[in-house]
Structure 1
Protein backbone atom coordinates (compact mmCIF):
# COMPACT_ATOMS: atom_id res chain seq x y z
CA UNK A 1 0.00 0.00 0.00
CA UNK A 2 1.42 3.27 -1.14
CA UNK A 3 1.06 6.23 1.14
CA UNK A 4 0.40 9.56 -0.57
CA UNK A 5 2.34 12.59 0.44
CA UNK A 6 0.23 14.83 2.69
CA UNK A 7 0.31 17.73 0.20
CA UNK A 8 -1.03 15.49 -2.57
CA UNK A 9 -4.07 14.52 -0.55
CA UNK A 10 -7.18 16.06 -2.25
CA UNK A 11 -8.66 17.21 1.07
CA UNK A 12 -5.40 18.98 1.95
CA UNK A 13 -5.27 20.72 -1.44
CA UNK A 14 -8.82 21.99 -0.93
CA UNK A 15 -8.01 23.15 2.63
CA UNK A 16 -4.82 24.97 1.54
CA UNK A 17 -6.68 26.60 -1.36
CA UNK A 18 -9.40 27.79 1.03
CA UNK A 19 -6.75 29.13 3.41
CA UNK A 20 -5.02 31.03 0.59
CA UNK A 21 -8.30 32.49 -0.66
CA UNK A 22 -9.19 33.51 2.92
CA UNK A 23 -5.83 35.27 3.40
CA UNK A 24 -6.12 37.13 0.08
CA UNK A 25 -9.68 38.18 0.95
CA UNK A 26 -8.62 39.38 4.42
CA UNK A 27 -5.70 41.38 2.98
CA UNK A 28 -7.97 42.92 0.32
CA UNK A 29 -10.58 43.88 2.93
CA UNK A 30 -8.00 45.48 5.23
CA UNK A 31 -6.43 47.42 2.35
CA UNK A 32 -9.85 48.54 1.11
CA UNK A 33 -10.79 49.79 4.59
CA UNK A 34 -7.49 51.70 4.78
CA UNK A 35 -8.12 53.34 1.37
CA UNK A 36 -11.71 54.21 2.37
CA UNK A 37 -10.49 55.82 5.59
CA UNK A 38 -7.86 57.86 3.73
CA UNK A 39 -10.44 58.93 1.16
CA UNK A 40 -12.81 60.00 3.95
CA UNK A 41 -10.08 62.11 5.54
CA UNK A 42 -9.13 63.68 2.21
CA UNK A 43 -12.75 64.49 1.41
CA UNK A 44 -13.02 66.68 4.52
CA UNK A 45 -9.49 68.12 4.64
CA UNK A 46 -9.45 71.81 5.61
CA UNK A 47 -6.70 74.17 4.43
CA UNK A 48 -6.63 77.65 5.89
CA UNK A 49 -4.83 80.52 4.22
CA UNK A 50 -4.19 83.91 5.80
CA UNK A 51 -3.77 86.96 3.59
CA UNK A 52 -4.05 90.71 3.68
CA UNK A 53 -5.59 93.10 1.20
CA UNK A 54 -4.86 96.77 0.94
CA UNK A 55 -5.05 99.78 -1.33
CA UNK A 56 -4.92 103.53 -0.74
CA UNK A 57 -8.08 103.66 1.43
CA UNK A 58 -8.66 100.12 2.76
CA UNK A 59 -6.85 97.38 4.64
CA UNK A 60 -7.98 93.94 5.79
CA UNK A 61 -6.86 90.54 7.00
CA UNK A 62 -8.77 87.59 5.60
CA UNK A 63 -8.73 83.89 6.39
CA UNK A 64 -10.01 81.51 3.73
CA UNK A 65 -10.63 77.79 3.88
CA UNK A 66 -9.42 76.47 0.52
CA UNK A 67 -9.82 72.86 1.62
CA UNK A 68 -12.58 70.35 1.04
CA UNK A 69 -13.90 70.17 4.60
CA UNK A 70 -14.69 72.42 7.53
CA UNK A 71 -11.86 73.91 9.59
CA UNK A 72 -12.40 73.92 13.33
CA UNK A 73 -10.31 76.93 14.39
CA UNK A 74 -9.25 76.41 18.00
CA UNK A 75 -6.75 79.16 18.73
CA UNK A 76 -5.04 82.18 17.26
CA UNK A 77 -1.84 83.98 18.15
CA UNK A 78 -1.02 87.51 16.99
CA UNK A 79 2.48 88.82 17.54
CA UNK A 80 3.17 92.55 17.20
CA UNK A 81 6.95 92.87 17.06
CA UNK A 82 8.01 90.85 20.09
CA UNK A 83 4.75 91.09 22.07
CA UNK A 84 1.78 88.76 21.84
CA UNK A 85 -1.44 90.77 21.80
CA UNK A 86 -4.92 89.78 22.93
CA UNK A 87 -6.89 92.47 21.03
CA UNK A 88 -6.35 94.46 17.82
CA UNK A 89 -6.67 97.70 19.81
CA UNK A 90 -3.31 96.96 21.45
CA UNK A 91 -1.65 98.01 18.16
CA UNK A 92 -1.44 101.82 18.34
CA UNK A 93 -1.93 102.36 14.60
CA UNK A 94 -5.09 100.26 14.51
CA UNK A 95 -8.02 102.60 15.15
CA UNK A 96 -11.62 102.69 13.92
CA UNK A 97 -11.87 99.28 12.27
CA UNK A 98 -14.43 96.52 11.93
CA UNK A 99 -13.50 93.17 13.44
CA UNK A 100 -14.67 89.61 13.58
CA UNK A 101 -13.84 86.84 16.04
CA UNK A 102 -11.21 84.27 14.91
CA UNK A 103 -10.81 81.60 17.61
CA UNK A 104 -13.31 78.85 18.38
CA UNK A 105 -15.00 79.06 15.01
CA UNK A 106 -15.89 76.62 12.28
CA UNK A 107 -15.02 77.81 8.80
CA UNK A 108 -16.80 75.94 6.01
CA UNK A 109 -14.97 75.08 2.78
CA UNK A 110 -14.47 77.99 0.36
CA UNK A 111 -15.68 80.52 2.96
CA UNK A 112 -13.79 83.41 4.51
CA UNK A 113 -13.53 85.34 7.75
CA UNK A 114 -12.27 88.91 7.83
CA UNK A 115 -10.98 89.39 11.38
CA UNK A 116 -9.99 93.00 10.67
CA UNK A 117 -11.30 95.45 8.08
CA UNK A 118 -10.47 99.15 7.81
CA UNK A 119 -11.82 101.65 5.30
CA UNK A 120 -10.58 105.22 5.48
CA UNK A 121 -7.76 107.62 4.91
CA UNK A 122 -5.35 105.94 7.37
CA UNK A 123 -4.98 102.64 5.47
CA UNK A 124 -1.30 103.40 4.90
CA UNK A 125 -0.73 103.34 8.69
CA UNK A 126 -2.29 99.88 8.87
CA UNK A 127 -0.02 98.67 6.06
CA UNK A 128 3.07 100.03 7.79
CA UNK A 129 2.07 98.41 11.12
CA UNK A 130 1.42 95.14 9.28
CA UNK A 131 5.15 94.69 8.65
CA UNK A 132 5.69 93.75 12.31
CA UNK A 133 2.57 91.56 12.72
CA UNK A 134 2.62 87.78 12.67
CA UNK A 135 -0.58 85.74 12.77
CA UNK A 136 -0.74 82.03 13.58
CA UNK A 137 -3.84 79.82 13.65
CA UNK A 138 -4.30 76.32 15.02
CA UNK A 139 -7.12 74.35 13.40
CA UNK A 140 -8.34 70.78 13.06
CA UNK A 141 -10.44 68.66 10.72
CA UNK A 142 -13.52 66.78 11.88
CA UNK A 143 -11.22 63.75 12.29
CA UNK A 144 -9.10 65.68 14.84
CA UNK A 145 -6.13 66.00 12.51
CA UNK A 146 -4.62 69.37 13.40
CA UNK A 147 -2.38 71.94 11.75
CA UNK A 148 -0.77 75.28 12.52
CA UNK A 149 -0.62 77.90 9.77
CA UNK A 150 0.95 81.34 9.70
CA UNK A 151 1.07 84.03 7.04
CA UNK A 152 3.45 81.90 4.94
CA UNK A 153 0.42 79.64 4.34
CA UNK A 154 2.36 76.40 4.78
CA UNK A 155 0.28 74.26 7.20
CA UNK A 156 2.34 72.24 9.67
CA UNK A 157 0.72 69.07 11.06
CA UNK A 158 0.62 68.88 14.86
CA UNK A 159 -0.85 66.39 17.31
CA UNK A 160 -3.39 68.78 18.88
CA UNK A 161 -4.01 72.50 19.37
CA UNK A 162 -2.60 73.98 22.54
CA UNK A 163 -1.73 77.63 23.06
CA UNK A 164 -0.14 79.24 26.08
CA UNK A 165 -2.77 81.49 27.71
CA UNK A 166 -0.29 84.41 27.71
CA UNK A 167 -0.01 84.14 23.91
CA UNK A 168 -3.66 83.50 23.10
CA UNK A 169 -5.43 86.06 20.93
CA UNK A 170 -8.90 86.67 22.37
CA UNK A 171 -10.76 88.38 19.54
Structure 2
Protein backbone atom coordinates (compact mmCIF):
# COMPACT_ATOMS: atom_id res chain seq x y z
CA UNK A 1 0.00 0.00 0.00
CA UNK A 2 1.41 3.37 -0.91
CA UNK A 3 1.48 6.43 1.28
CA UNK A 4 -0.98 8.26 -0.97
CA UNK A 5 -3.71 5.70 -0.69
CA UNK A 6 -6.37 6.43 1.89
CA UNK A 7 -7.78 3.72 3.97
CA UNK A 8 -11.57 3.99 4.19
CA UNK A 9 -12.62 4.32 7.80
CA UNK A 10 -16.18 4.42 9.05
CA UNK A 11 -17.31 8.04 9.64
CA UNK A 12 -17.52 7.61 13.41
CA UNK A 13 -13.83 6.78 13.53
CA UNK A 14 -12.83 9.85 11.50
CA UNK A 15 -11.71 12.63 13.86
CA UNK A 16 -12.83 15.42 11.53
CA UNK A 17 -16.41 14.08 11.50
CA UNK A 18 -16.45 13.86 15.28
CA UNK A 19 -15.15 17.45 15.56
CA UNK A 20 -17.76 18.69 13.05
CA UNK A 21 -20.57 16.89 14.84
CA UNK A 22 -19.44 18.38 18.15
CA UNK A 23 -19.42 21.88 16.62
CA UNK A 24 -22.97 21.39 15.30
CA UNK A 25 -24.19 20.24 18.73
CA UNK A 26 -22.54 23.22 20.42
CA UNK A 27 -24.11 25.57 17.86
CA UNK A 28 -27.60 24.12 18.33
CA UNK A 29 -27.19 24.32 22.12
CA UNK A 30 -26.08 27.95 21.88
CA UNK A 31 -29.03 28.91 19.70
CA UNK A 32 -31.45 27.09 22.04
CA UNK A 33 -30.11 28.91 25.10
CA UNK A 34 -30.29 32.26 23.26
CA UNK A 35 -33.90 31.67 22.21
CA UNK A 36 -34.90 30.68 25.74
CA UNK A 37 -33.16 33.74 27.19
CA UNK A 38 -34.92 36.00 24.64
CA UNK A 39 -38.28 34.48 25.65
CA UNK A 40 -37.56 35.14 29.33
CA UNK A 41 -36.51 38.72 28.61
CA UNK A 42 -39.69 39.29 26.60
CA UNK A 43 -41.85 37.98 29.46
CA UNK A 44 -39.96 40.13 31.96
CA UNK A 45 -40.45 43.19 29.75
CA UNK A 46 -44.21 42.53 29.58
CA UNK A 47 -44.43 42.10 33.37
CA UNK A 48 -42.58 45.37 33.92
CA UNK A 49 -45.52 47.20 32.34
CA UNK A 50 -48.44 45.43 34.04
CA UNK A 51 -51.12 47.75 35.38
CA UNK A 52 -53.25 46.68 38.33
CA UNK A 53 -56.45 48.65 39.00
CA UNK A 54 -58.34 48.74 42.27
CA UNK A 55 -61.60 50.43 43.19
CA UNK A 56 -61.56 52.20 46.54
CA UNK A 57 -64.55 53.49 48.45
CA UNK A 58 -62.90 56.50 50.08
CA UNK A 59 -64.82 57.83 53.06
CA UNK A 60 -61.97 59.94 54.37
CA UNK A 61 -64.12 63.11 54.32
CA UNK A 62 -61.91 65.03 51.88
CA UNK A 63 -60.72 68.01 53.93
CA UNK A 64 -63.77 68.10 56.21
CA UNK A 65 -66.24 68.86 53.41
CA UNK A 66 -68.47 65.86 54.16
CA UNK A 67 -67.58 64.20 50.86
CA UNK A 68 -67.12 60.57 49.96
CA UNK A 69 -65.83 59.22 46.66
CA UNK A 70 -65.23 56.11 44.62
CA UNK A 71 -61.64 56.13 43.41
CA UNK A 72 -59.96 54.04 40.73
CA UNK A 73 -56.27 53.55 41.51
CA UNK A 74 -53.50 52.04 39.41
CA UNK A 75 -51.36 50.09 41.88
CA UNK A 76 -49.44 48.29 39.13
CA UNK A 77 -46.13 49.11 37.49
CA UNK A 78 -47.37 50.30 34.09
CA UNK A 79 -50.10 52.49 32.60
CA UNK A 80 -53.64 51.12 32.27
CA UNK A 81 -55.60 51.74 29.08
CA UNK A 82 -59.22 51.65 30.31
CA UNK A 83 -61.27 50.33 27.40
CA UNK A 84 -64.60 49.30 28.92
CA UNK A 85 -66.65 50.39 31.93
CA UNK A 86 -70.00 49.09 33.11
CA UNK A 87 -72.13 49.56 36.20
CA UNK A 88 -74.48 46.86 37.48
CA UNK A 89 -77.23 46.89 40.11
CA UNK A 90 -78.73 43.54 41.13
CA UNK A 91 -77.11 41.94 38.06
CA UNK A 92 -78.67 44.40 35.57
CA UNK A 93 -76.58 46.95 33.62
CA UNK A 94 -77.20 50.64 34.26
CA UNK A 95 -76.62 53.51 31.83
CA UNK A 96 -75.15 55.97 34.38
CA UNK A 97 -74.34 56.72 38.00
CA UNK A 98 -77.44 58.93 38.03
CA UNK A 99 -79.62 55.96 37.04
CA UNK A 100 -78.21 53.98 39.98
CA UNK A 101 -79.06 56.71 42.48
CA UNK A 102 -82.54 57.04 40.93
CA UNK A 103 -83.02 53.36 41.87
CA UNK A 104 -82.15 54.26 45.46
CA UNK A 105 -84.34 57.40 45.48
CA UNK A 106 -86.99 57.37 42.71
CA UNK A 107 -87.74 60.77 41.20
CA UNK A 108 -84.29 62.13 41.97
CA UNK A 109 -83.50 65.05 39.62
CA UNK A 110 -80.01 66.26 40.54
CA UNK A 111 -76.93 64.67 39.04
CA UNK A 112 -73.90 63.09 40.70
CA UNK A 113 -70.48 64.62 39.89
CA UNK A 114 -68.41 62.02 38.05
CA UNK A 115 -65.26 61.69 35.95
CA UNK A 116 -65.03 60.06 32.56
CA UNK A 117 -63.22 56.77 33.02
CA UNK A 118 -63.86 55.03 29.69
CA UNK A 119 -61.06 55.35 27.09
CA UNK A 120 -58.62 56.91 29.52
CA UNK A 121 -55.02 56.13 30.25
CA UNK A 122 -54.35 55.86 33.97
CA UNK A 123 -50.59 56.11 34.69
CA UNK A 124 -49.17 53.87 37.40
CA UNK A 125 -49.42 55.36 40.87
CA UNK A 126 -52.29 57.69 39.85
CA UNK A 127 -56.01 57.77 40.68
CA UNK A 128 -59.30 58.92 39.15
CA UNK A 129 -62.31 60.00 41.18
CA UNK A 130 -65.06 58.00 39.46
CA UNK A 131 -67.79 59.77 41.47
CA UNK A 132 -67.85 62.23 44.34
CA UNK A 133 -70.76 62.09 46.76
CA UNK A 134 -71.52 65.36 48.51
CA UNK A 135 -74.69 64.65 50.47
CA UNK A 136 -75.12 62.43 53.51
CA UNK A 137 -78.16 60.84 51.79
CA UNK A 138 -76.04 59.74 48.81
CA UNK A 139 -73.30 58.40 51.05
CA UNK A 140 -75.80 56.48 53.16
CA UNK A 141 -77.58 55.12 50.05
CA UNK A 142 -74.29 53.92 48.54
CA UNK A 143 -73.21 52.22 51.77
CA UNK A 144 -76.62 50.61 52.29
CA UNK A 145 -76.67 49.18 48.76
CA UNK A 146 -72.98 48.36 48.33
CA UNK A 147 -73.59 44.59 48.08
CA UNK A 148 -76.03 45.12 45.21
CA UNK A 149 -73.55 47.11 43.09
CA UNK A 150 -70.88 45.82 40.71
CA UNK A 151 -68.55 48.13 38.81
CA UNK A 152 -66.63 46.49 35.94
CA UNK A 153 -63.48 47.89 34.37
CA UNK A 154 -61.66 46.26 31.50
CA UNK A 155 -58.18 47.62 30.96
CA UNK A 156 -55.08 46.68 29.00
CA UNK A 157 -51.35 47.12 29.32
CA UNK A 158 -49.25 48.76 26.62
CA UNK A 159 -48.60 45.22 25.32
CA UNK A 160 -52.36 44.54 24.96
CA UNK A 161 -52.51 42.15 27.91
CA UNK A 162 -56.09 42.78 29.07
CA UNK A 163 -57.69 42.36 32.49
CA UNK A 164 -61.27 42.55 33.75
CA UNK A 165 -61.80 43.97 37.24
CA UNK A 166 -65.21 43.19 38.71
CA UNK A 167 -65.53 45.34 41.79
CA UNK A 168 -68.43 44.62 44.06
CA UNK A 169 -68.79 42.89 47.40
CA UNK A 170 -65.46 41.29 46.45
CA UNK A 171 -62.93 42.55 43.89
CA UNK A 172 -61.97 39.97 41.26
CA UNK A 173 -59.41 40.61 38.53
CA UNK A 174 -59.01 38.09 35.70
CA UNK A 175 -56.93 38.07 32.54
CA UNK A 176 -59.06 38.22 29.38
CA UNK A 177 -58.19 37.92 25.68
CA UNK A 178 -59.85 41.27 24.94
CA UNK A 179 -62.23 43.72 26.52
CA UNK A 180 -65.97 43.03 26.11
CA UNK A 181 -68.30 45.02 23.90
CA UNK A 182 -70.46 47.73 25.44
CA UNK A 183 -73.33 46.69 27.68
CA UNK A 184 -76.93 47.30 26.68
CA UNK A 185 -77.70 49.99 27.68
CA UNK A 186 -74.14 51.37 27.36
CA UNK A 187 -72.71 52.95 30.50
CA UNK A 188 -72.19 56.68 30.01
CA UNK A 189 -69.70 58.09 32.43
TM-score (norm 1): 0.89
CA 1:163–1:25: 2 relative to 1, 3 Å: same
1:23 maps to which residue?
Answer: 28
CA 1:154–1:121: 2 relative to 1, 3 Å: closer
- Residues 1:110 and 2:119 are matched in the alignment: no
Counterpart contact for 2:84–2:182, Cα < 8 Å: no
Larger mean CA deviation between 82-91 and 140-149 belongs to: 82-91
Q: Which runs of 5+ in 2 are unaligned?
A: 2-6
Q: Which runs of 5+ in 1 are unaligned?
A: none
2:166 maps to which residue?
Answer: 150
- Residues 1:47 and 2:55 are matched in the alignment: no
Structure 2 distance, partners of 1:107, 1:141, is 10
Give the number of equivalent residue pairs.
Answer: 171
Structure with larger Rg:
2
TM-score (norm 2): 0.81
Q: Secondary structure at the match of 1:98?
A: coil
1:11 maps to which residue?
Answer: 16
Q: Secondary structure at the match of 2:59?
A: strand
RMSD: 2.1
CA 1:153–1:83: 2 relative to 1, 3 Å: closer
Instruction: Name the structure, 1 or 2, with higher relative contact order (CA <8 Å, separation 6+).
Output: 1
Structure with greater proportional strand content: 1
